[in-house]
Chains A and B, each alone.
Chain A
Amino acid sequence: AQSVAQPEDQVNVAEGNPLTVKCTYSVSGNPYLFWYVQYPNRGLQFLLKYITGDNLVKGSYGFEAEFNKSQTSFHLKKPSALVSDSALYFCAAEMIKAAGNKLTFGGGTRVLVKP
């Protein structure tokens, strides 16, 4: 069975410092990988995805993520965090199947950016 792990429940970072949110996956084949963000009392917003090609993908709000096949990781990064980046972040993997695509989510990581 496929699984996605986010080893940190919470990440604290000072505003202006680099932000990294970790994600590892365990799936067979070549999964599609995603990052979503959830702000309080709101739904999930799509940030970025990796399908194929360049291992470094860029997404919304200055976020990027690096796909590392050998380490089965897809860490989310932002060079300079903002207080407004404080939210809950989810990593997800999708196996593309004829019967329909299914997203498997990690447990989520709460990011707190302090002024």
Chain B
Amino acid sequence: SAVISQKPSRDICQRGTSLTIQCQVDSQVTMMFWYRQQPGQSLTLIATANQGSEATYESGFVIDKFPISRPNLTFSTLTVSNMSPEDSSIYLCSQTGASPDTQYFGPGTRLTVL
């Protein structure tokens, strides 16, 4: 398996502000992903974080709202911009490890927007 850390683990933010979530993995991997888990719901893929190029966003998610960086093979950030209460969710990053067909997940960042 993989060791994945996320910062912060949780945060409470005010409407209209932005929060940047960091994801650090313990090995150089090609694929990193960002997911959202809204309260009581399943996981939805936000985007694939590509090293050295723009992220690939899924339908319903846009770069202006969720800018993503991936400066190297072991680190990525997701920013939730201009937050509203509807953005209250758990945000998780994942990576493919030594087995490229299996994704391993970080512990998640629990975001509450007031």
What is the interface size of chain B, counting residues whose CB is below 8 A from a CB of the partner?
25
> Within the complex, what minimum Cβ distance (angstroms) separates A42 from chain B?
6
Q: Judge if B103 is at the interface, Cβ distance under 8 Å.
A: yes
The SS class assigned to the B binding surface is strand
Q: Judge if B48 is at the interface, Cβ distance under 8 Å.
A: yes
Q: Judge if A43 is at the interface, Cβ distance under 8 Å.
A: yes
Contact size class for A? 20 to 34
Contact (A107, B42) CB under 8 Å given A34-B102, A94-B101: yes
Closest B residue to A107 by CB, please name it.
B42
Specify which chain A residues have a CB less than 8 angstroms from the CB of B105 in the assembled complex.
Answer: 36, 43-46
With A34-B102, A46-B103 known, 15 other A-B pairs at CB within 8 A are A34-B103, A36-B105, A42-B108, A43-B4, A43-B106, A44-B92, A46-B102, A49-B102, A96-B101, A99-B56, A100-B31, A100-B56, A102-B48, A103-B33, A107-B42
